[in-house]
Amino acid sequence: MTINLLKKKIRIATRKSPLALFQAMYVKKKLISIYPNLLITIIPIITHGDKFLNSSFVKSNGKGVFIKELEIALLQNKADIAIHSVKDIPMEIHKNLSLACICKRSNPLDALISKKYKNINQLPKNAIIGTSSLRRKFQLMNYRQDLIISPLRGNIETRLKKLDKGKYDAIILAAAGLKRLGLQKRISYLIPPELSLPPCGQGAIGIECRVKDKEVINILEKIHHYKSKILIQTERAFCKKLLIGCQLPVGSYAILKKEKIWLRTFISSFDGKNIIRGEKIGSFQDAKKIGYKLACELLKKGAKKILA
């Protein structure tokens, strides 16, 4: 398809948070580096999730609260693409929209941030750890039951300020977000997946657009990262099989290992007392099958009871 970039304009819908605006600017710069004549406008939007960022509303309502208004902008032709953190995208999206592009994934691991301690083992007994993620909470407590996990909400800057005021001995954030905001020096310790398995899509930027907008899809193809897409497809296939409409603590993390996909997963009950883990290795061509088959295995191992 021929693209008339001398006249092509692209409107980017994004959340208003500093991290979201950085991600939108990142995509804009990537596109302009390939298509210098492309005219790009960024449209910041306050989502429903942003209005309740400091409450338990986001956790109880789950994925989708940070993207709904951006999708509405696409459907009403008020924007051409929407930028998301892939971990915020539900497994099912609107039939008229497509997750057309996944940029090269940044570090997907969780990070420990502390002013005094360099890793989890250095934390004193009964140390107070800030996170509102049940996924992080249950995995950490499985490793060290003496830790006190205390709720922590707000954007990255707000959470760091609470740590600096001494309300926590340490907090846990996604490493990718810290790096994108130039705060990687705040990271005390990258938590290995053996201790804290990341959620599906963490560290990746996803770009959504209208299914019928083939010209935009062709433009986005130039910044699409194939390997990141395949690994995230694997992770999402696992979650899609198990968790449609369900907000349980889940980890789903795929990496390349000797040119094979290695998927590691876990699912926990809401009280953290019942944790089921699984892993599977397969070929690139079978990305979705790997996630689907592993989900079926976990269902047989007891995940069905947790989901019920």
pLDDT tens-digit series, residues 226-274:
999 999 999 999 999 987 656 689 999 999 998 899 999 999 988 888 9
In the chain, where the domains are located: 9-104+204-224, 110-191, 234-307
Closest CA to 170 of 180, 178, 160: 160
Does residue 57 have a pLDDT over 60? no
Does residue 105 have a pLDDT over 80? yes
Closest CA to 278 of 301, 257, 304, 307: 301
Q: What is the reported pLDDT for 61?
A: 47
Mean pLDDT in residue range 123-136: 96
Confidence of residue 1 (pLDDT cuts 50, 70, 90): very low
Mean pLDDT in residue range 62-72: 81
What's the CA angle centered on 214, arms 208 and 219, to 5 degrees? 70
CA distance 290 to 267: 16
CATH topology of domain 9-104+204-224: D-Maltodextrin-Binding Protein; domain 2 (3.40.190)
- 116, amino acid identity: K
Q: Which CATH number among 3.30.160.40, 3.40.50.300, 3.90.700.10, 3.30.2020.30 corresponds to the domain 234-307? A: 3.30.160.40
Q: Of all helices (H) and strands (E), which one includes residue 231?
A: helix 226-243
CA distance 108 to 50: 23
Domains 9-104+204-224 and 234-307 are alike in CATH topology: no
93, with CB counted inside 10 A (0-12, 13-18, 19+), is middle
Confidence of residue 308 (pLDDT cuts 50, 70, 90): confident
Mean pLDDT in residue range 62-84: 89
Does residue 66 have a pLDDT over 90? no
Largest CA distance in the chain: 63
Residue 300 zone, left/alpha/beta (φ > 0; ψ -120 to 50; rest)? alpha
Question: Buried (b) or exposed (e) across 263-290, using 16+ Cβ within 10 A?
Answer: bbbbbbbeebeebbebebebeeeebbeb
Beta bridge partners of 83: 207
The token pair at 86 is: 């892939």
- Tell me which of 88, 110, 169, 213 is the catalytic residue: 88
Altogether, the residues listed in the chain come to a count of 308
Does residue 48 have a pLDDT over 80? no
Q: What is the reported pLDDT for 186?
A: 97
Confidence of residue 52 (pLDDT cuts 50, 70, 90): low
- Is there a catalytic annotation at residue 88? yes
pTM of the shown model: 0.90
103 vs 67, more confident: 103
Superfamily of domain 110-191: Periplasmic binding protein-like II (3.40.190.10)
54 vs 176, more confident: 176
Does residue 3 have a pLDDT over 50? yes
CA distance 156 to 263: 28
Q: What is the reported pLDDT for 56?
A: 52
Mean pLDDT in residue range 109-121: 97
26, with CB counted inside 10 A (0-12, 13-18, 19+), is middle
> What is the percent of the chain where pLDDT is above 70?
91
The token pair at 40 is: 């790009």
First-to-last alpha carbon distance for the chain, in angstroms, is: 48
Mean pLDDT in residue range 16-31: 96
DSSP string, 2-33: ---TTT-EEEEEEESSHHHHHHHHHHHHHHHH
Q: What is the reported pLDDT for 47?
A: 78
CA distance 88 to 66: 7
Distances (CA, A) of 74 to 8, 27, 68, 200: 17, 17, 10, 24
Q: What is the pLDDT of residues 194-224, one digit of tens each?
A: 999 999 999 999 999 999 999 999 999 999 9
Confidence of residue 146 (pLDDT cuts 50, 70, 90): very high
Q: What is the reported pLDDT for 139?
A: 95
Does residue 60 have a pLDDT over 50? no
CA distance 179 to 173: 11
Residue 62 zone, left/alpha/beta (φ > 0; ψ -120 to 50; rest)? left
> Is 83 within 8 Å of 207 (Cβ atoms)?
yes
Alpha helices by DSSP H, 118-174: 134-143, 156-164
Does residue 285 have a pLDDT over 90? yes
Q: What is the reported pLDDT for 245?
A: 57
